[in-house]
Amino acid sequence: MVSVWSNGVCWSMSLTVCLSSALLSLLNAFIFIVVTVPREAEWTLVLTGTMPTTNRKKQGGDTAVQGTNDSSVVSKVSAAAQGYFHDVFLQHFVCKAARRAPLINRGYYVRWRAVDYCVRRFLLVTDGCPRRQILSLGAGFDSAYFRLHADEALDRAVVFEVDFPDVARRKAALIKSNNTLRGMLDPHLPSRTGPEYVASSRYHLLGVDVREESRVEEALGAAGLDWAAPTLILSEVVLTYMEAKWSDAVISWTAKLLPQSLFVMYEQIRPLDPFGRIMQDHFLKLNSTLHALLQYPDTAAQRHRFLDKGWEQCVCLDMNDFYVGLVPEEERGRVESLEPFDEYEEWHQKCSHYFILTASRGALMTQALLSPAPVSSVPSICPSWSPSALSVQTLPVGVEGLGMASTWVSPGQVLLTGGSSRGGRGPVFDSTTPLPLFPEEVWWYMGVAHLHSTQSEAFSE
Ligand SMILES: C[S@@+](CC[C@H](N)C(=O)[O-])C[C@H]1O[C@@H](n2cnc3c(N)ncnc32)[C@H](O)[C@@H]1O
């Protein structure tokens, strides 16, 4: 049984603040479950106000893509609330928090951790520079500026954020109506000019479509971006939403215009295995298609893409490699103890379908690259259907299991995954059965059981 939740986004406007928020596509970033669907995934937030309910499935492409921001910020707030990472500013960008399932919280944790890791490395490497910049493309309601400012990590650094005008307008309204956020900007903000919605000495928020290269270049120049200064360009689940010709162009023009820079990108890969197909389908249904996946389906292809488009060096890790190789064991232990969790299979599947990439231009920026992929201790989880990979035994017994997923394979055969017997995570079959599928004590069971005739009738076409 394979289930993918449906979702919708409802938003409204309050009097002064164009606030949207909410909800849900678990998959927006890292979010996605096969087999079971937590109820949290189905939450739909309806805010009081005057704006009509919006459904991402029915929206035009760009509007639907903007809705991905509303979903991801709610998920980030959920992960922060459960203690996965510390961010007291994100909550100001959602009007109603929702608690996500542990698997989703973990997904947002590893995403947040990977991006934070890259940003901190960049700030460390550029510590001696008179000026450094962070340019966040498709920044949405990201709170990085406020978090880094509060940590006093932005010494001699300026943050530029770009998103569609509607998103930038909503974010600017939220910031200006919130005392905490507004208090972290210059006391006297100049009035808005052109596409610049917030202009503070260390923070600039611009409303421009990043596909419009000359407009972005003009707007960033007018806002004070120094093209020669070391710059981190961040794209956190953004470029994938535009056709590959546009995302390729962004990767090229940033390399061309910023000779001392580090590109940091986090998004999806591996579209063609079963998990990847469901992932693609989910986004398609939400009208926010993942575009670059087919052309750049894995970490090697993404790496070559950047090297082809003007970047000098590039390191790309899938999130299993990042998590195991670059998150200290103690931190992993902390995170893994936060919530009850037994969805290890889905967790590793998810991690293998997302990557973190760093690409550099200029000698200094080479030092900020991610470490090359460590030898992964996570076994490959490419599904294999070779007959030798599945142990098959004839079992003249009934099958009793809890939380087990079953898929009809062919007449008389059913594939069982996960779950347990009534007695717990022991053999899947009842205690009178002398032949469990796997005699070892393992956490997961997978096999093909030949059911005897009365049972196989249940799976007839
Ligand atoms: C999934 S959200 C991610 C937001 C933010 N980067 C984060 O990770 O929290 C994708 C964001 O990219 C923005 N975006 C997508 N295409 C864009 C484009 N062509 N120009 C500007 N922003 C874009 C959307 O409006 C949305 O805010």
Give yes or no for residue 228 having a pLDDT over 50: yes
The confidence score (pLDDT) of residue 64 equals: 86
139 C-alpha to center of ligand 1: Å?
A: 6
Instruction: Judge if the beta carbon of residue 240 lies within 6 A of ligand 1.
Output: no
- One-letter amino acid at 137 equals L
**Atom nearest to 142 CA in ligand 1:** 9
More confident position, 217 or 386: 217
Instruction: Judge if the beta carbon of residue 266 lies within 6 A of ligand 1.
Output: no
d(CA 52, CA 12): 7
pLDDT band of residue 22 (cuts 50, 70, 90) is very low
Instruction: Judge if the beta carbon of residue 72 lies within 6 A of ligand 1.
Output: yes
Instruction: Judge if the beta carbon of residue 293 lies within 6 A of ligand 1.
Output: no
66 C-alpha to center of ligand 1: Å?
A: 6
d(CA 340, CA 38): 14
**Atom nearest to 136 CA in ligand 1:** 6
Query: What phi, psi does 50 have (nearest 5°)?
Result: -110, -10
Which whole number is the average pLDDT over 148-154? 97
Q: Under a CB-based contact definition with an 8 Å cutoff, are residues 417 and 12 in contact?
A: no
Instruction: Judge if the beta carbon of residue 139 lies within 6 A of ligand 1.
Output: yes
- Enter the pTM of the model: 0.75
- 102 class by beta-carbon count within 10 Å (0-12 exposed, 13-18 middle, 19+ buried): buried
Parts of the chain belonging to CATH 3.40.50.150: 102-366
Instruction: Judge if the beta carbon of residue 238 lies within 6 A of ligand 1.
Output: yes
Following DSSP, what letter does each residue of 390-433 receive, concatenated?
S-EEE--S-B--BS-EEEEEETTEEEEES-BBTTBSS-SB-TT-
d(CA 172, CA 166): 10
Instruction: Give the pLDDT confidence of 363-372 residue by residue, as tens digits.
Output: 999 999 998 7
Mean pLDDT of the residues in the chain = 78
361 C-alpha to center of ligand 1: Å?
A: 24
The confidence score (pLDDT) of residue 39 equals: 29
Instruction: Give the pLDDT confidence of 271-292 residue by residue, as tens digits.
Output: 999 999 999 998 898 888 999 8
**Atom nearest to 235 CA in ligand 1:** 6
The confidence score (pLDDT) of residue 370 equals: 96
> Is domain 102-366 annotated with CATH 3.90.480.20?
no
Q: Whose CA is nearest to atom 4 of ligand 1?
A: 140
Q: Whose CA is nearest to atom 9 of ligand 1?
A: 142
Q: Which residues contact 396 (CB under 8 A, 6 or more apart)?
A: 452
- 198 class by beta-carbon count within 10 Å (0-12 exposed, 13-18 middle, 19+ buried): buried
pLDDT band of residue 447 (cuts 50, 70, 90) is very low
Instruction: Give the pLDDT confidence of 317-333 residue by residue, as tens digits.
Output: 999 999 999 999 999 99
Lowest mean pLDDT among 60-64, 118-122, 288-292: 60-64
- One-letter amino acid at 323 equals Y
d(CA 155, CA 4): 44
Give yes or no for residue 56 having a pLDDT over 70: no
Which whole number is the average pLDDT over 233-252? 97
Which whole number is the average pLDDT over 339-355? 94
Cα torsion through 410, 414, 418, 423, rounded to 10: 180
Instruction: Give the pLDDT confidence of 396-441 residue by residue, as tens digits.
Output: 445 556 666 666 666 655 666 666 655 555 444 433 333 334 333 3
